[in-house]
Structure formats: structure tokens, C-alpha cells
A and B are shown apart, each in its own frame.
Chain A
Amino acid sequence: MSLKRYIIRRLAEMAIIFWIIQTVLFFLFHLAPGDPLSRMVDPGMTHEEEMILTEQLGLREPVGTQYLYFLGNFFRGRFGISFHYGRPVARIIAQRLPNTILLFTTAVILSALAGTWLGKLISWRKENRTDKIITVGALVCHTLFLPWIAMLMLWFGAFKLGWFPVTGMISPELWILPQATAPEKALDIAWHMILPMATLFLIHFGSYLLIMRSSMLETLTEDYIFTARAKGLPENVIRDRHAAPNARLPVVTSVGLSLAFSINGGALTETVFSWPGIGRELVFAVSNNDYPLALGCFLLIAAVVLAANLVVDVLYGYLDPRIRY
């Protein structure tokens, strides 16, 4: 059960990293100019509400004690009350997180599958016209400015063609109908998801394709590819069973490494398409000085990136038998 031990060790490491992030944020909240109290308590609250909240968060205590309160509250899922929504931040996050995960993971997984697949195919016929055109296309996709492409998607898909909704994740008029069935609702979400997903897909697809292509080209120089040829294997078997599985490994690593960067894109996509996810909530919170909400969203995103990194590492170990935990 060495995998279990590995995961436990990594979880411990992640906990420490997370704790450091929390600590830095806490003290930044206190050192930033202005009254720290005003950052956790909604100026519009009644006196009574304010008393309860300051009590709960220990806001009248010395900084050291407040810090302990802060950590303790975090583990009890108390992130404070959102100024804008007037509801506990934890509840808002719990609502938004699945939406983000739905959109983001679908887009990343689909683009990783498609990108590695096409990258594999074109690497095999390197240096011909198709390869060149697709490579340049992937380069362009990879460097497209995401919010702009998102707006173009909206302009084209929602405005010109009118096929897709402009914003949001659901059509409220459908959801309030009592007779709306689950498949109908799922379809409604899928329909709303197409444009934002296409945006994220386009950006990621290009980079996965490029990484897979160069990883394949490197793998092709390995001795075991020569062995496979000497064995008289057909070319597509060499490509799919020998080259591609090895070439995929560096791609998995780079997916992990670029994850934090991809999250930026996720937040931008959610914002442009008004996708009710956690990234958009963070942008919204920052724009509206909703400090508790911003803090909660940020910490949660950090936790998600950390967890996703662990998933990627475990996946890598699963794909590469040489890795022993």
C-alpha cells in the first residue's frame, strides 16, 4: 500500500502549503491599509448581526488570537458572511464549486484527449503540409487572448447565429416549470455550456497538441521505437502502442504544471459568459469589495489547484510503471 502512503505524504505537504497561503492572506488582510474590521463586517449590517459575527470571528481579539479564530473557523467551514449576498460565504461557494468543476474539467479533459490525439497523428507525418498547417493553427489557438475569443464566440454563436444563449448556465423559465424532467434540465445546462466550453477547449487544445507533438517527435528517436520497427510491427501499432503511451507522460506533467495558469482562463471564461462558477464569483467579489467572499473563493481555488495537482501526480504514476511511491 505504498500508493496510500504516498498520497498521505502528499496530502500532508499540501496541508502545509495551504496553511502557509492562509497565513499569508490573513496577515495581508491585517496589514493592508484601512480598518481590517471593515473587511470582514458588512458596513450595512445591523448592530446585532455585527455583534454575532465579530464574536464568531473573534474580530475584537488581539491579532494572534484572531489568527487562531481564523484557522479554527476555516475548518468549521465558517468563512464569514458575504457583503453582497448577505449569506454565509461557505454556502455560496458550495453552490458555485460544482459549476466550475463541471465546466473546467470537461473542457480540460476533452481538449487533452483531442489535442493529444491529433498531436499524435500529425507527429507521425512530420514535416508535411498538413503537419505544418495544424501546428501553426495550434500555435495560434494557444496564444489567442481568451476574453476576446470568448466575446467572439458570443458574437458569433449567440448573436449572429442565435443558436446559443448569451449568458448563464440555465434557462430559469424552464427550471421553474414543475413538469421539467432531469434530462431536459441536463440538456439545458449542456446547451448553455457549449460556448464557454468551446472557448476553453480552443485555448487548451492548441497547447496540448503542441506538447504532444514535440513529445512524440522526441519519443520517436528512442531505441525502443527502433526495436518496434525491427519487430516488423505495422506503423499504426508502433505509433499507438509504443510511441504514444510514452509520449503522453510529459504531457501529463505539463498539464499539472500549467493548471494554475489554466485556472486564470477558467475565471475569465466564467466572467464573460456569466457562468455561475467560483472564478466569476471571485472577480465579482473583488470588484464589489466583498472581502469575505473574495477570501473564501481564493482559498478554495488554491485548494482545488493543489488537489488537482495531486490527482495529476497519481495519474502519472498509474501511466508510468517506473514510478514507485
Chain B
Amino acid sequence: MKNTEIAMTRNRPYWRQALDENWRRLRRNPTGRSGLILLLIFALMAASSFIPPLISPIYNPMHGVDPHISHTTGPSLRHWLGTDFIGRDIFSQLLAGARVAFMVGITAAFMSVVLGVAIGILAGYAGGWADTVLMRLADMIMVMPTLLVVLMAAALFGQLSIWTIVAMIALFRWPGVSRVIRARILSLKQRPFIEAARIAGASHLRIMTRHLLPNVLPLALLYMTFRVTSAIIIEAALAFLGFGDPTTVSWGMMLQWVWKTGHMFQAPYWLLPPGICISLLTLSFYMLARAMDEILDPRLRRRGES
């Protein structure tokens, strides 16, 4: 790396290096690699979800009804995975569901991790009563079953939009993250570089954002990956129970249709795909997270690897 660049951005080269190194290890790790490949497939599905409706309006996942079909049919050339109970194309729904799952999973996880990291850093760094209050709040939220909480919200406020659901998942899934981040901050606080920054006159905000935050980012990324899986599961379960956003087609909703219309036993071509997709997508995020965990936690790192 050129000298000028190092001088210009003091922290960056180190971060680049660390990131490159971890990325390399992730791809070498068998669990991580399988997770990444699966994710890539799902990403392709999500990205191509806009194609079927362009081909023909009958492939619109929500409104496209095949004029010749008014009930569920098995796989055919025209409908690769068959149609649902009113003749909508299951394959198109599956692609649309991938998009929704990614959207929900990643935004909810991102928001909950941002919240968790902010609260964790604040509690750990401030200590004292702020710490006590925030951690008690975390304890309290941690004992609440998120799915049932969102259900209660649906009972009170009626139909929830997909973004409300995402926000609620984020709001109730931060405590685990903030506990871990806080623990890390407590140990970081003892390190000399924080003391040095303080003596050099850095403000609290600066210490938190410039010195503490970068050190917990890898951990935050790890937790975000774990959170994606739980967000996807919660949204799917909610949709399955009939409380999803009725304007979006999600995999959970597809399962609800199979179930509620009594096709559970008759239409395996309809029952299997959405369930497999939810399970595999959460599995791939979970595998990715485990691989990251292995890479980031030197204690679990296998000997003979560095």
C-alpha cells in the first residue's frame, strides 16, 4: 500500500486488511462456503422475481390468475410448480417470497443490531444508573416472546404493514445484541488506548463512535447475521398465522394458504416449496453466522489454522 494512502486514512488500511483476511477465511470455511452459495441462489431468486409478471400478467404472484385454471393444479410446463387454490402461479410466488424474506430479514436484523449496538455501547461506556436501567429494560424485553408480542399488536392496531412488522421485530430483538456488545465494551474500556484517547481530549461521543464502535463492528456483523434468521422466521410465522401484510406474498403466507384452504394433504407440490425455502434460507444465514463465529472467536478456532 502506498504511503500517502496510509497517511490519509489512518484506520482504514487496517480495517481493509482485517476484512479481506476474514472474507478469505470465510470462503475457505466449509460451513461458510455452503452458506454463501445457498445465499447466492436465493439472492438470484429474489433478483429475478420481477421477471415472471413481465412475461405474462398471469404470472403476477398476487393478482395473476390463470384464466383457464380456478383451482390448484400440479406442476406443468405452463406453471412449473403448479398453481394455488385460485390459479395463481406458485413459482412466481416463490420468487416474490424470496425478495420479501431478504427485505424483512436484512432490514429487521440491521435495525435491531443498530439499536443493540448503540444501547450496548452506551450502557457499557456510561456505566452507573444508565447501565442499570438499560440492562433491566433488556432483561424485560428478553422474556417477551416476539411473535406473540407482534400478535398482540395486531390485535390492538389491526392489520400490520410489512414495515411495521419489521420495526416491531427490530424493537424486540435488540437485547441479546446489546448484552454481548456491552460485555465487550466493558473489557475494551480497560484498555490503554481508551485512556489515551481520553487524555488526548477526545469527547465521549468521539470515544464511543471512533474508538469503541470499530472494535465491536465484527461482533455486530456476526449478530446481525444471526438476527436475520430469527427475523425471517418471525415474519414467516406471523404470515402463516394470518397476520402478515396482505399486500405482499411471502413464503409464510403461501403456507397459510395451503393450510387454511385445506390442501395440506392433497397438494405436496404446493406445501413443500415455501417450507423448503424458509428452512434453507434461514439455514444458510445460520451457517454463515456460525462460520463467522468460528473465525472471529479465536478460542474456537481450530488449531493449525491461524
A and B touch in the complex (CB under 8 A): yes
Residues of A within 8 A of B (CB): 17, 20-21, 25, 28-29, 32-33, 139-140, 142-149, 151-152, 154-155, 159, 214, 217-218, 221, 257, 259-261, 263-264, 267-268, 271-272, 279, 282-283, 285-287, 289, 291, 294, 298, 301-302, 305-306, 309
**By DSSP majority rule, is chain B's interface helix, strand, loop, or mixed?**
helix
Known interface pairs A140-B279, A147-B240, A283-B151; A261-B300 also in contact (CB < 8 Å): no
Known interface pairs A25-B152, A286-B152, A302-B144; A151-B271 also in contact (CB < 8 Å): yes
Name the A residues within 8 Å of B143 (CB-CB): 17, 259-260, 302, 305-306, 309
- Residue from the set A148, A260, A261, A282 with the largest chain B CB neighbour count within 10 Å: A148
Known interface pairs A140-B279, A155-B268, A285-B155; A257-B142 also in contact (CB < 8 Å): yes
Name the A residues within 8 Å of B157 (CB-CB): 32-33
Whether the pair A267, B152 counts as a contact (CB closer than 8 A) is no
Other-chain residue from B155, B236, B274 in contact with A289 (beta carbon distance below 8 A): B155
Name the A residues within 8 Å of B233 (CB-CB): 145-146
Interface membership of chain B positions 140-175, coded 1 if the CB is closer than 8 angstroms to chain A and 0 otherwise: 101111111001101111100000000000000000
Name the B residues within 8 Å of A159 (CB-CB): 265
Other A-B contacts than A264-B146, A305-B145, 6 sampled, CB-CB below 8 A, are: A17-B143, A155-B264, A155-B271, A261-B230, A264-B148, A298-B152
Closest Cβ of chain A to B214, distance in Å, is: 27
Name the A residues within 8 Å of B152 (CB-CB): 25, 286, 294, 298
Whether the pair A143, B147 counts as a contact (CB closer than 8 A) is no
Other-chain residue from B145, B286, B299 in contact with A301 (beta carbon distance below 8 A): B145
Whether the pair B140, A139 counts as a contact (CB closer than 8 A) is no
Residues of B within 8 A of A (CB): 139-140, 142-148, 151-152, 154-158, 176, 229-230, 233-234, 236-237, 240-243, 252, 255, 258-259, 264-265, 268, 271, 274-275, 278-279, 282-283, 286-287, 290, 299-300
Whether the pair A260, B142 counts as a contact (CB closer than 8 A) is yes
Whether the pair B300, A214 counts as a contact (CB closer than 8 A) is yes
- Assembly CA distance A189 to B9 (angstroms): 68
Name the B residues within 8 Å of A218 (CB-CB): 299-300
Name the A residues within 8 Å of B154 (CB-CB): 286
Whether the pair B230, A151 counts as a contact (CB closer than 8 A) is no
Closest Cβ of chain B to A172, distance in Å, is: 21
Known interface pairs A28-B156, A29-B156; A20-B147 also in contact (CB < 8 Å): no
- Assembly CA distance A151 to B240 (angstroms): 12
Name the B residues within 8 Å of A257 (CB-CB): 142, 176
**By DSSP majority rule, is chain A's interface helix, strand, loop, or mixed?**
helix
Count of CB-CB pairs between chains A and B under 8 Å: 125
Other-chain residue from B148, B236, B258, B278 in contact with A298 (beta carbon distance below 8 A): B148
Whether the pair B147, A151 counts as a contact (CB closer than 8 A) is no
Whether the pair B300, A267 counts as a contact (CB closer than 8 A) is no
Whether the pair B140, A151 counts as a contact (CB closer than 8 A) is no
What residue in chain B is nearest A17 (Cβ atoms)?
B140
- Assembly CA distance A139 to B242 (angstroms): 28
Known interface pairs A151-B259, A282-B151; A139-B237 also in contact (CB < 8 Å): no
Other-chain residue from B144, B252, B258 in contact with A151 (beta carbon distance below 8 A): B258
- Assembly CA distance A159 to B266 (angstroms): 10
Whether the pair B237, A151 counts as a contact (CB closer than 8 A) is no
Q: List 10 A-B contacts (CB under 8 A).
A: A145-B275, A148-B274, A151-B275, A214-B300, A267-B145, A286-B154, A286-B155, A291-B155, A294-B155, A298-B152
Whether the pair B151, A151 counts as a contact (CB closer than 8 A) is no
Name the B residues within 8 Å of A17 (CB-CB): 139-140, 143
Whether the pair B255, A140 counts as a contact (CB closer than 8 A) is no
What residue in chain A is nearest B234 (Cβ atoms)?
A264
Other-chain residue from A33, A148, A214, A294 in contact with B275 (beta carbon distance below 8 A): A148
Whether the pair B300, A142 counts as a contact (CB closer than 8 A) is no
What residue in chain B is nearest A271 (Cβ atoms)?
B241
- Assembly CA distance A301 to B300 (angstroms): 36
- Assembly CA distance A89 to B200 (angstroms): 63
Closest 8 CB pairs of A and B: A148-B275, A264-B147, A145-B278, A32-B156, A143-B283, A263-B145, A286-B155, A143-B282
Name the B residues within 8 Å of A306 (CB-CB): 143
- Assembly CA distance A144 to B279 (angstroms): 5
Known interface pairs A25-B152, A142-B286, A264-B145; A148-B278 also in contact (CB < 8 Å): yes
Name the B residues within 8 Å of A147 (CB-CB): 237, 240, 252, 255, 259
